[in-house]
Amino acid sequence: MRKNVDILSISDTAKSDDFFIQCDIDGDVNDVFGTHPKPRKVTDCGFCLCKEGNCVLMIDNFTYTLHSGDMVIVFPQSTLQTLRRSNDFRAHICASCVDILSNIKISNSVRLYMCIYENPCIPLTNIQQQYVAEGCRMLKEASALSSHSFRDEICKSVIISICYYIAGIYGEIEPVAKQPAKLQDLLFRRFRTLLSQDYKISREVGYYADKLCVTPRYLSSSVNNVSGISASTWIANITILNAKLLLANTDMTVHQVACELNFSNQSFFGSYFRARTGKSPKQFREESL
């Protein structure tokens, strides 16, 4: 029996043992890296630049709509799902193994990482789009140099060049002087981190408030003020997201999924799931096949 959620990696899509993938996609492509309709865990780092049309992606618990000229970056261990995509959707997609990122030397890289993590989807200017698209074209041509002695080195250099360029774009969108984060912002980030770790343990706001040393009322108001979504909704969303992952990508029974997510029984899990999705766990699984 498969108990783990399906993992989306370069090896699923690459034609060989490549450490990267670069492709152009259009609306009739059903399953390419990062555009699968089922939620899956991503092991690599990559980006998608929308050329035409639009696409709605869910990354972890956030939804992003890509229009022409928008770029989205996905980090390893993210949960990625395509919710819908227009028939005229066209995009450049590039992804590489995490090991390559160790060759990128950027000062204050933690700050840059957090900037990208908090803003994974950004619009690009025409010049920026052209540079990224040209980088994808160069990578595609370099990958075709199968008999070249330094083919891999050339590909890595192109990938690193694109990464530096994208890092520079994010450097430009940051304010010149950033104000210290408000206490509620910090609390929200701590809550989100704790929730990603302990969502199987408890679905009660009080549990997370106690762990964060605040009252449930203060936690709820702070989370709602920062994100526009209540703490209880955050908890429900991540619970449902992971329930969908298990139902769509594993052979676990509904009872086993309920136990995995720490529900007291299958009936309670079913009621919880239906109340938030409009479908029973069984119906959702059948429609996901």
For 178-205, the pLDDT digits (tens) are 445 578 878 887 898 888 889 999 999 9
Q: What is the DSSP secondary structure assignment for residue 186, as one 8-state letter?
A: H
Average pLDDT over residues 54-77: 84
> Which pLDDT does position 109 carry in this prediction?
67
Q: Say which residue the tokens 């993590």 belong to.
A: 117
> Which pLDDT does position 102 carry in this prediction?
66
Sheet holding 7-8, edge to edge: 7-8, 40-42, 79-85, 55-59, 62-66
Lowest-pLDDT range of 70-74, 94-98, 130-134: 94-98
Say yes or no to pLDDT of 110 above 90: no
**CB 96, CB 47: distance < 8 Å:** no
Q: Parse the chain into domains and list their residue ranges.
A: 7-173, 183-288
The single-letter code of the amino acid at 240 is I
Is the torsion defined by CA of 195, 200, 204, 210 positive or negative? negative
- Contacts within 8 Å (CB) and 24+ apart, 167-175: 167/104, 167/106, 167/112, 169/122, 169/124, 169/128, 170/112, 170/115, 170/116, 170/119, 170/122, 171/112, 173/115, 173/119, 173/122, 174/115
pTM score > 0.75 for this model? no
Average pLDDT over residues 160-177: 76
Q: In angstroms, rounded to a whole number, what is the distance separating the alpha carbons of residues 47 and 243?
A: 26
> Which pLDDT does position 282 carry in this prediction?
93
Average pLDDT over residues 131-149: 91
Which residue spans within 60-151 are E strands per DSSP?
Answer: 62-66, 70-74, 79-85, 90-96, 121-123
Say yes or no to pLDDT of 17 above 70: no
> What is the residue-averaged pLDDT of the chain?
81
Among 227, 203, 200, 228, which Cα is nearest to 216's?
203
Confidence of residue 30 (pLDDT cuts 50, 70, 90): very low
Q: Is 198 left (phi over 0), alpha (psi -120 to 50) or beta?
A: alpha
Which CATH number does 7-173 carry?
2.60.120.280
Same fold, 7-173 and 183-288: no
Strands 7-8 and 40-42 come out as: parallel
Which CATH number does 183-288 carry?
1.10.10.60
